[in-house]
Amino acid sequence: MSELSRLRWRCRRGTTELDRLLNRFLDAESHGYAALNAKGREQFETLLTCEDDQLIDWLLSGQRPTESALVDIVQQIRSVSGL
């Protein structure tokens, strides 16, 4: 399984909204996952370990993560989706 396929599988969440948001980030070429450096990719993988309710708060409701290491990746995902 390729890295992208593995990540796409991990992006499957409990809500359609999160699925779309995370997959849009994976597919975006200029500002999405492909443009991340190693630190950004690590942050994205860490984000995928979080619970859906936290992701909804951060990605859809615009709340700021308490973990400072996730702030940048949350902002990038929201930016790609125009939020």
Separation between Cα atoms, residue 66 and residue 80, nearest integer Å: 21
pLDDT band at 22 (very low <50, low <70, confident <90, very high): very high
User: Could you tell me the pTM of the whole model?
Assistant: 0.88
Q: How many angstroms separate the CA atoms of 51 and 73, rounded?
A: 16
pLDDT in tens, 62-75: 999 999 999 999 99
The pLDDT tens digits of the residues spanning 24-47 come to 999 998 889 999 999 999 999 999
Q: Give the span between the Cα atoms of 20 and 15, in whole angstroms.
A: 9
Domain annotation for the chain: domains and CATH numbers: 3-80 (1.10.150.250)
